[in-house]
Chains A and B, each alone.
Chain A
Amino acid sequence: MKKKMSIMVVDDESIVRESLYHWFAKSGHTVDTAASGLEALEKLERVAFDILFVDIKMPGMDGIELLKKVKSAYPDTIVIIITAYGSIESSIKAMKTGASDYLLKPFKPEYLSLVLEKVTQQQRLTEEYNYLKGHLERINRFDNIIGQSPPMQKIFDIIPNIANNDTSILLTGETGTGKELIARAIHAKSPRAHCPFIAINCGAVPDSLLESELFGHVKGAFTDAAYSRKGFLEVVNGGTLFLDEVGEISPKMQIDLLRVLEEKKITRIGSSEPLDVDFRLVSATRCNVEEAIERGDFREDFYYRINVIRMHVPPLRKRIEDLELLANHFLNKYSQETAKQVDHVSEDTVTLLKQYSWPGNVRELENAIERAVVLTRSRTLTAADFGFLPPSARSEKKARTLKEMERAFILETLEDCEWNITRAAGVLGINRVTLHKKIDRFKLKAYKK
């Protein structure tokens, strides 16, 4: 079945607009008209069109200028130039600027049918290409890790290098920064890619249950053990185990896991028979583990075992230059999912979004874009679509006294240095003991949502 297109005819001559309007309407297409380039651009901001038929000679903004603007803002929109005999050079210029085709006035009705058929086919091929490209990116597992900022580029550079060996990796960073996606990318790039990737949120599973989930159990091992069950450490065989919120694991479980990591053997609960296991461990935490060690909540030996390679995933506010890229990615994702033609975030809105502190990071941004796409009635997201966002915590809590300013500055430096006391003390120009005293005095803690 042929797809019905949405078409806009842009021509200053009403008779041409009228002729084409009726011709397209008779073919069942959705048609609109504009008498000038400016009117066309205004309409494009509100509604998406598949094809624009643009007269090359118009007062004010001419067809070529309109073509440039359309191709820059809406590259997927097909533009066909209409021109009279004698302006063939302009037609060539139009084709070079991105027009899909041109029609010399007057043309046979069959030429118009041919051009329409050609661009429909072209659009279908583009859609297929985009689908396959997206599919390929999903296979590569890098599709959702988006960023051009230096910290993200550093992560992209590191992933292929660390993926090839079997060392344990600890990912640190606030909630919603994409630690699991990075773990998946490491797995996908590793020789273990064809084996399972199993993710467990240790903070969400009670300690007693976590033991059974990880190690499995034999029938009758405890009251509810009606049958034998493999644990994730067995199921993951050959693959990658991702322990999220590893800082939440109890000291007892840390000892058990430490033994597994050292011996590569497990014993199901209720059994005495050791089983060989083979997996790579990637852990993640949003807590300051060093502080937890100092408090005695985290075992140092377990920490050194899981922290062979450490990667810090920066919060969104520290790579705010990636926001536009991420926003457009989510916009594309949710406009496809909701089948709504929303394909732009206005420049002012991007600036506004960049001012917000995004405590929930990329996850919060994704949710915000999804909500805005669902509720908007325009194809361009504006500041009004993000009215639900609370005012930035950071901009509201501006330091007022000297003491408050000192506290804020020390906290920011510590965050920048990932709570590395020696480094932060160096940046602040004070010694470590003084910094520890200030941390105690100001009751500073690692950011934890």
Chain B
Amino acid sequence: MIRPGLVGIVPIGDIPVLVPKVIAAHISGYLDLETSILEPMRSPTYALDEQRLQFNAGTILHKLESMPFEGVDKIVGVLNIDLFVPVFTHVFGEARQRGRAALVSLFRLANGRSEMAQPPPALLERTAKVALHELGHLYGLAHCENEPCLMHFSDNLEELDRLTFGLCRYCTRYFTDETT
């Protein structure tokens, strides 16, 4: 039985333990949703595009959405690989509007740094922002024109860093309607 509002966080591949915890804390704190950190999954080698040497985010999403994840309403997969969708060079994260699963990858958010044993606070913050943004799409939110709003579309790390964790009043209203 699915518990409405329960968000499962799935580490996929080699992910620092702290990252899912930070994401879970931000989801609870800012979106007021229950969270549960699920069993880790193996690295998604099935999604590797050998020509691009990147991982197809759509393929991973399909896989996650086909899995039962008992009792969980939405799923956020956390990875540390270079994700792409076919027309784009890369993505920080991916979700389909009103879908069940979202992805966030540390790979491009780390900006070339690879000291993953102790992820720096800036990386944790970025990862949490992308996770919450993609989760917003799962609850039907679209990109928002208000720049500090979490749902504002950010093309690059600078823009991402300027976003706040908060939703603007319109997105808050929409999100509350969707989750209550």
Which residue numbers of A lie inside 8 Å of B, CB to CB?
1-2, 13, 15-16, 18-20, 22-23, 25-28, 82, 103, 105-110, 112-113
Contact = CB atoms under 8 A, between A and B. Distances in A.
Given A26-B97, A28-B143, A113-B153, 16 more contacts: A2-B145, A13-B86, A16-B86, A18-B58, A19-B58, A19-B86, A19-B87, A25-B97, A26-B153, A27-B153, A106-B87, A107-B88, A108-B90, A110-B155, A112-B87, A112-B88
Nearest to B145: A2
B58 A15 contact: yes
Contacts of B84: 106
Nearest to A103: B87
B132 interface: no
17 contacts: A15-B58, A22-B97, A23-B85, A25-B97, A28-B142, A28-B143, A103-B87, A106-B52, A106-B84, A106-B87, A107-B88, A108-B88, A108-B90, A109-B88, A109-B91, A110-B156, A112-B87
B72 to A, nearest CB: 22
B143 A26 contact: yes
A262 to B, nearest CB: 70
Given A27-B153, A109-B155, A20 B87 contact: yes
Contacts of A27: 142-143, 153
Contact of B87 (A1, A105, A113): A105
Contacts, number: 58
A20 B85 CA distance: 9
Interface residues of B, number: 20
A105 B97 CA distance: 23
A108 B97 contact: no
A110 B155 CA distance: 5
Nearest to B91: A109
Question: What does DSSP make chain A's interface, helix, strand, loop or mixed?
Answer: helix
A113 B155 CA distance: 8
B96 interface: yes
Contacts of A112: 87-88
A19 B97 contact: no
B45 interface: no
A1 B142 contact: no
Contacts of B91: 109
Contacts of B145: 1-2
A13 B142 CA distance: 25
Contacts of B155: 108-110, 113
A101 to B, nearest CB: 15
Contacts of A82: 87
A19 B143 contact: no
B88 A26 contact: no
Nearest to B61: A22
Contacts of B97: 22, 25-26
B137 interface: yes
A99 to B, nearest CB: 17
Interface string B136-147: 010000110100
B125 to A, nearest CB: 20
B180 interface: no
A106 B89 CA distance: 5
Contacts of B88: 19, 23, 106-109, 112
A19 B97 CA distance: 12
A108 B89 CA distance: 5
